[in-house]
Amino acid sequence: MRMDPLAERHRAIRAHTLSLAAPLSAEDCCVQSMPDASPVKWHLAHTTWFFETFVLERWVTGFKPFDTTFRALFNSYYNAVGDKHPRLHRGLLTRPGLDVVLAYRAHVDQRLQALLQQQTTNIELLKLVELGQQHEQQHQELLLTDILHLFSRNPLHPAYAAPAPAARPVVALSWQAFVGGVLEIGHPGHGFCFDIETPRHRVYLQPYRLAKRLVSNAEYAEFIAAGGYADPVYWLAEGWDWRVAQHREHPMYWYREGAHWQEFTLGGLQPLDVHQTLQHVSYFEADAYARWANARLPTEFEWEHAATNPCDTGMGLNQLFDTAWQWTSSSYAPYPGFRAAPGAVGEYNGKFMVNKYVLRGGSVATPADHSRANYRNFFPASACWQFSGIRLAQDA
């Protein structure tokens, strides 16, 4: 890559983040609605902190930070960088104000653009800036998931955006067969990737088949009506304990209004659109539904193979990248030969490889140029605030 396209992409990504925050008030941007969410103001500042800390501090001669206190305030989890403000207390940061955070973004952007003009052949700098851009795109999606959760806790049921148009009736569920075999999995070696997508390696897959589309709201409502949340036979032991402890009887943003369901969305509280794709379910719920449906969840290797290789029969798979992240049955673990990058940047992914499952694909909230077939998303099995859905699998 040349620096000019990188600089233009940087401007576009940073502007898009601001456009996502534009419909929100300063009060909206400050509140933290749960420990796993962050205030919008923190997202705006942390993504800026990344460029200031890992790029400007390293390559700008005579570097001086915008504000020395920001180094700890907006550090997420990089222990090698130094102190961190406790994650649980990000919503208590009424200062600095949103106006100061926006000034911080503008200041760092200006300095970074100047640096890109000077360092036209610095490949290491280029790679770090690109990593920071991909990092910001992750936070663009998190910004939407976090504001959705925040607004869902407001009794006024505020809408972030216009309601989604009504979905078309879904076609009957059909399957796509794959012969399996010895296959190459992982980043193919061209274009950007996170370190956890490497190294490319071989796996063996038995013949399998995947559902051509994702599970719909109507299909999941059948699971609820059939007593799926009340029958432990479908649930993993830990999942059943989670369901009981959380008093969970339906997806996170579903609400029963008499005989009818409603769903809280970015467009506010709406009658449940039964034709829409199911979203916001945990791994526990996805796994239980799959068992009830006489199926299973795909492995991440089956999913990647299906997304990157021609199908053996039929017309292929739909809703791979643009609807909902798809839970897989694969634990988030390193590929054979994985080595984290040296220094603080090496803390980006690798140290979280415990007690999590891999999701594949992308969602309605994922930037279109951020998705790819070998991307490995990961969350705890109980996570359901993400735009996560279900693609069924079966042995062929």
- Crossing angle between the packed helical segments 40-51 and 3-21, to the nearest 10 degrees: 160
pTM: 0.96
Distances (CA, A) of 45 to 13, 37, 86, 105: 14, 15, 15, 7
The rounded distance, in Å, linking the Cα atoms of 331 and 320 is 20
Amino acid at 221: A
- Crossing angle between the packed helical segments 3-21 and 123-152, to the nearest 10 degrees: 10
Amino acid at 167: A
- Crossing angle between the packed helical segments 98-118 and 40-51, to the nearest 10 degrees: 20
The ranges assigned to domains in the chain are 3-152, 175-395
pLDDT of residue 2: 58
Please report, in tens digits, the pLDDT of each residue of the chain (396 residues total): 556 889 999 999 999 999 999 999 999 999 999 999 999 999 999 999 999 999 999 999 999 999 999 999 999 999 999 999 999 999 999 999 999 999 999 999 999 999 999 987 899 999 999 999 999 999 999 999 999 999 999 999 999 999 999 999 999 999 999 999 999 999 999 999 999 999 999 999 999 999 999 999 999 999 999 999 999 999 999 999 999 999 999 999 999 988 899 999 999 999 999 999 999 999 999 999 999 999 999 999 999 999 998 665 556 899 999 999 999 999 999 999 999 888 888 889 989 999 999 999 999 999 999 999 999 999 999 999 999 999 999 999
The rounded distance, in Å, linking the Cα atoms of 196 and 372 is 14
Nearest to 385 by CA among 24, 143, 172: 143
Contact criterion met (CB below 8 Å) for 30 and 153: no
The rounded distance, in Å, linking the Cα atoms of 322 and 268 is 21
3.40.50.9100, 3.90.1580.10, 3.40.30.10, 1.10.1740.10: CATH of 175-395: 3.90.1580.10
Quickly tell me which residue has 């600089």 as its tokens. Answer: 7
The rounded distance, in Å, linking the Cα atoms of 332 and 104 is 35
Beta partners for residue 363, in sequence order: 323
Containing 317, the helix (H) or strand (E) segment is none
List Cβ neighbours of 78 (8 Å cut-off, separation of 6 or more): 53, 84, 344, 347
